[in-house]
Amino acid sequence: MPEFSPVDYAVPGFVLLVLLEMLWAWKKRPEAYEPRDTLTSLAFGLGSTVAGLITGGLFLALFLWVWQYRIFDFGPEWWTVWWAWPLCFVLDDLKYYWVHRFGHRVRWFWASHVNHHSSQHYNLSTALRQTWTGALTLGFAFALPLVLLGFHPVMIAICGGFNLIYQFWIHTEAIGKMPRWFEAVMNTPSHHRVHHATNPRYLDRNYAGVFIVWDRVFGTFEEECPDEERIRYGIVKQLGSFNLLWSVFHEWVGIVQDMWRAPWRHKLSYLLREPGWTHDGSRETSDMIRARWLERTGRPEPGAQENPIAAGERTA
Amino acid sequence: MQLAQFGGSLVAILLLAWLAHRLGLGGDLRIRSEDQARELADEAVSGFDPVDIAIDRAGCSAILRDASGRILLLRRHGAHFAGRLITTRPEARLDQGLLTIGAEDKPFGTVTLNLGKAAQEWAASLRRLEKVGA
């Protein structure tokens, strides 16, 4: 069985590229980096690797147990079945799309994923701003269908590692748009800037990891329009703090406070409904913010009617 | 091995943050005009359209009110600005032209605005807000 963690090998490259982007910022856009923000983001990255070490073994054990009940068997030397690797990579990316979409649409998942979005900067250090609390969500369950199909948990982990490495370079403002054919299929800096934006038109769009086609298929794609408005990054209610522990746990604290104060029949909704939902309408969800913006600007809802899945979610 | 990796990563992180500081990255962003304050307000709370704006003399913060009476406090956060709606009577202190406001959201911290003569007027409008739990 191969013992290989692609991310471990990529870390020196991450550091080097952050350094290069900093030099670019120094020459061209000094405001693209901020020392305290960079320190917070990188500390997130380091902490997340520690959290991964603590919980990774548990999930591997669970997946190995489930793997006993697999539908297809790739044989005792499963790593030699060459075509299983690209297939696993593509299916893992599809899985990533849905985990990620849930990460934005269910507050329980968002409490963990918000960490990746809470910087008001968008640079390569933001890519390393990874959660410490992923194990507290049900994100791991999305990998179970792959395990049951017969993909070995180690194969899935390796593919997931390459997926993560791919996503590193797209966290930059230093690259404009890639060639059209590439933008059509792959996730790019342009597509992912949209994902990190707080402009109402861009909220909860472009969930893709590697292949942007998932967003096009499932109706969540939005094109970046740099000529129409400047992109703003972060979260709808900006943190306004560089305190690392507050940055890590603020949404979990918010959930506990909201559940504590809410009437009994609404308590679970504060965990399971979308971020911003309140039983008394005192806050706004991303759908509400976008709807208000569309009304204010008199624009038609972009793209949504074309796709039955996206339209269904909106009317639900 | 893992401890060495952790140590190496920690050193790299500190070096990168130090370098960002040494290179002067982040800049010195200030609010220079009412139009800029208006734009920042819309970024902080989508659709917030101020009718009254008071900008701190150093341009590090601002306080704004919209037509429905909502008050928004903006302050610099690194190379950007962050804002909070002040919905209930906050902890506020007036010292001549300096108005210090503590947002309900404690981690956001307190903000001191040098507003000159306008400070008194804004302090009065904050006092008119309902107390927490009232």
- pLDDT reported for residue A5: 85
Whether B132 and chain A come into contact, CB under 8 Å, resolves to no
Q: Which residue has the tokens 């991450």?
A: A14
Give me the DSSP letters along A64-100. Answer: HHHHTT-SS---TTGGG-TTHHHHHHHHHHHHHHHHH
Closest by alpha carbon to A189, among A240, A226, A236? Answer: A226
Mean pLDDT of B79-94: 93
**How would you class A307 by CB atoms within 10 Å of its CB: exposed for 0-12, middle for 13-18, buried for 19 or more?**
middle
Whether B76 and chain A come into contact, CB under 8 Å, resolves to no
- pLDDT reported for residue B2: 80
- pLDDT reported for residue A308: 46
Contact B23 A30 (CB under 8 A): yes
Closest by alpha carbon to A45, among A157, A106, A134, A127? Answer: A127
Angle at B9 between CA A164 and CA A251, to 5 degrees: 60
Cβ distance B71 to B126 under 8 Å?
A: yes
Whether A25 and chain B come into contact, CB under 8 Å, resolves to yes
Q: Which of A18, A32, A53 is closest, CB to CB, to B2? A: A53
Closest by alpha carbon to A71, among A147, A157, A143? Answer: A147
pTM: 0.93
Q: Taking CB atoms and an 8 Å cut-off, how many pairs form between chains A and B?
A: 118
Three-state DSSP class for residue B113 = strand
* Segment B20-54, tens digit of pLDDT: 999 999 988 999 999 999 999 999 999 999 999 99
Cα–Cα distance measured from residue A26 to residue B43, given in angstroms and rounded to the nearest whole number: 26
* Per-10-residue mean pLDDT, chain A, length 316: 82 95 96 96 95 92 96 94 97 98 98 98 97 94 97 96 97 97 98 98 97 98 94 96 96 97 97 97 95 90 52 44
Q: What is the ipTM of this complex?
A: 0.92
Whether B68 and chain A come into contact, CB under 8 Å, resolves to no
Contact A30 B20 (CB under 8 A): no
Confidence of residue B134 (pLDDT cuts 50, 70, 90): low
B20 contact residues in A (CB cutoff 8 A): 22, 33-35, 38
Contact A35 B26 (CB under 8 A): yes
A240 contact residues in B (CB cutoff 8 A): 75, 77, 82-84, 105, 107-109
Mean pLDDT of B71-87: 95
A103 to chain B, minimum CA–CA distance in Å?
22
- pLDDT reported for residue A305: 41
Whether B75 and chain A come into contact, CB under 8 Å, resolves to yes
- pLDDT reported for residue A306: 45
Q: Which of B10, B26, B46 is closest, CB to CB, to A31? A: B26
Cα–Cα distance measured from residue A137 to residue A272, given in angstroms and rounded to the nearest whole number: 11
* Segment B66-75, tens digit of pLDDT: 999 999 999 9
